[in-house]
Structure 1
């Protein structure tokens, strides 16, 4: 039995109050001169590969009465229940994206299945593919891993034949070997009995960590200021609309600043144009949440090894190139702040909090959500992933991957989010919107692509 860390368990707990929190990887395969694989062939491949990929053989088990954090245990489910066949023969790329949007509306229950593979077959007019493409959506519980872990799972599942077993069968960071629990009620009871001691240790550690952080703040960049609400800070409903636009990597590389800064500058420009088109005031502060991964040398108990940087998008700067440079400097400074040992120690102290305390705090927060805030620390998410300058070596029944992407996660007060996924000579731009809040999301995407080209 491998118990979840508090930071991983948070994604499972949030699912009940905020909708799907899953990770999604999207992979476009081209059979080239051969026939595209059938669903039966793909299912046979997954059945054969699954036993050697540890992440595909676990399921979540909750502690009795929520007295402790959930644990990963071996999964006994058959593989067929983890696959869905979407026959889109003759469907266009926009129609495929509509189907993917509907997939994003239904979250996983990791207590039943922690992953699911959606196979969309026969799609026409897909960029980079001449004939019919096979589009695969790998859906994974966020409680299991982060974006880098999702990439590892996909690399194992779609590794070419002959890939060494130790590569395919590598365990995810933050995961211990799982085994069937013998007496869950005893483990939960022991956790409750240890609660007073854990709370006392938490109090000591959190006070010490906060004191060290306060002493070091003069050496770190200050955090962002909160910004005012806009029409793009309304809570999303359960409806989703995704746009997936592969671009030549040269559209964002070679600008004198990292791709992440170029992406953020383009988002800033597109957001400003969008608000002006609606006759809205332009806020003096508009912040983006940008996930950054912890290095392998940093001790971290969670399987999710990403932290959020809050970056001011400098809407007041009219020069796009200068805006990109300012943003690049902010990303570096904010990364240094959020990964500072003092701030990481505050997060580590929270690992001592017992599950009942965490759940009670979550329920209290939900009850207090009666007044809509007027200030926000973050207005959108921008995920930037670099999967290398060479095309990923992924195969599915003889078909080769042509480009990959993922989807960011809509969250409270963020009905419009962005992703930039680089691999080989393609960077795929992804915009995920809630159409109930952003009905003209197609126009926004056009504006974003124009903003990238203008930079």
Structure 2
């Protein structure tokens, strides 16, 4: 047993029905021809050895204190694996939002694997494939952590059996939270003072010209309205080799810079004329600067996509500089201290604040933060990824939308296939196929422009 770190627990507190804090990544394997029971057994055997998948989150009543990671005394990995049917890519894209929206059973560990066999049309392939959708709560892992768990699930080797850490009940967790309540409330002034001092250092760094803060207000667009309940998702696939070659010909840019460049151009075309920049929130790993026990180790940069620059090469260079500038800002000593010094408000306070914000009308002409979310989850080489001996050939997924963002992008790559998966609220992005075509065309034009 262990206490859930506050940075992990926060994902349980901010969750709403419209914004389930769910990570969902799908892996496409060449069809094995094996019965579904064999695939279930393959995954279950490996899940049984992974400690994060055996632990459930036990929350005190009312979230008056931090929850506990507790071994599930009735853990049976097969109970977390479900089998579905989808004949082709179109049916799979309809199924994914249904899987994503289904809430977790908080009495069990917060993960699931959904198997769909015989799906045709994944990445344009005529041959059928077996798709495994790995779904877990954001409290369990961040994107990199979820990838490591998936790598273990889809490996030929089974990890050594993990050591049990013990289990507890909700009543015991509640008793501990009540006993700790004076400490929890008493440390708030200390947290606040530490945060104020950290913010003073942040302002000092900015005054020295070490970096510049992003604009506090951005124009609200048609994809920044109040979230509705429905979701749509689809994916554009590209060649990593082609994009990497294009990046190499441009000079000091990355494949991720190129995809951000394409997204900026696609958004500019789709949205039409807007006054001001188009900004993306981009998670940045803090693993190299923070030695923390938390499972979620990332911060968020805000990147100007420079959508007003028509020349794609010039735009890519500007995006590259924007990524580096705001990444350096968020990883500066003062900003890192401010990040870890944020006051640890009790869960019930956070939940109340989130619901108040959710109820507020989204009618002002401006927003704070960013217009869209863009995450990047590189899986690395495809070697070693398999399901019952069948190799992986593609990865894609689905993202959680958070007010006021009605569109999110998930960039992932495995082997030579790069996927840009777009999740959208259909009441805000009414023509997802047209937007995907803009991304597809942008990738092709960027590669051709550099040849």
What pairs with 1:38-437 in structure 2 (closer than 5 Å)? 38-75=35-72, 76-88=74-86, 91-127=87-123, 129=125, 131-161=127-157, 165=159, 179-180=167-168, 183-217=172-206, 218-225=208-215, 226-254=217-245, 255=247, 256=250, 257-276=253-272, 281-350=273-342, 352-366=344-358, 369-370=360-361, 372-376=363-367, 377-388=369-380, 390-437=381-428
**Gapped regions of structure 1 (runs ≥ 5):** none
Which whole-Å deviations, capped at 9, do the CAs of 1:347-399 have from their partners, x for residues lacking one? 222264443443454455446x24533212200011122222x2242111121
Determine the C-alpha separation between the residues in 2 that align with 1:3 and 1:20: 22
Per mean C-alpha deviation after superposition, the further-off stretch among 76-85 and 397-406 is: 76-85
Contact 1:418 1:431 (C-alpha < 8 Å) held by counterparts:
yes
CA-to-partner distance for each residue in 1:4-36, whole Å, 9 max, x for gaps? 2222222112223543220011100114xxx42
What is the CA deviation profile of residues 155-214 of structure 1, one whole-angstrom value per residue up to 9, with x for unaligned ones? Answer: 1111113x6x36x96x9xxxx956436832331112212134312321321122122222
Structure 2: unaligned runs, 5 residues or longer: 447-451
Q: Aligned-pair distance for 1:290?
A: 0.8
After TM superposition, give the deviation of residue 128 of structure 1 in Å: 6.9
Task: Please state how far the C-alpha of 1:134 moved relative to its aligned partner.
Answer: 0.4
Corresponding position of 1:28: 28
Q: How many residues align?
A: 436
Relative to 1, partners in 2 of residues 1:196 and 1:440: Cα closer, same or farther, differing over 3 Å? closer
Deviating more after overlay: 149-158 vs 178-187: 178-187
Tell me by how many angstroms 1:288 deviates: 0.5
Q: CA deviation at 1:448?
A: 1.0
CA distance in 1, matches of 2:218, 2:129: 43
Question: Does the CA contact (< 8 Å) of 1:201 and 1:352 recur in 2?
Answer: no
Measure how far apart 1:289 and its partner are: 0.5
Paired residues of 1:220 and 1:336 also in contact (CA < 8 A)? no
Moved more, 444-453 or 183-192: 183-192
Residues 356/107 of structure 1: CA separation in 2 closer, same or farther (3 Å cut) = closer
Give CA-to-partner distance per residue, 1:309-355, whole Å, 9 cap, x none.
10111122122111110110111111111112211212222264443
- In 2, Cα distance between equivalents of 1:36 and 1:86: 16
User: Structure 1 residue 243: deviation in Å?
Assistant: 0.9
8 A contact 2:27–2:392 mirrored in 1:
yes
Taking a change above 3 Å as real, the CA distance of residues 206 and 297 of structure 1, as seen in their structure-2 partners, is: closer
Alpha-carbon spacing, 1:64–1:417, altered in 2? closer, same or farther (3 Å)? closer
Distance 1:419 1:47, change over 3 A: closer
Query: Measured at CA, do residues 339 and 3 of structure 1 come closer, stay the same or move farther in structure 2, by a change above 3 Å?
Result: same
- Per the TM alignment, residue 265 of structure 1 is displaced from its structure 2 partner at its CA by 1.0
1:435: Cα distance to partner? 1.7
Task: Provide Cα deviations, 1:113-134, integer angstroms capped at 9, x if missing partner.
Answer: 4001110111123337553210
TM-score by length of 1: 0.89
CA distance, structure 1, for counterparts of residue 390 and residue 238 of structure 2: 21
Q: CA RMSD in A?
A: 2.3
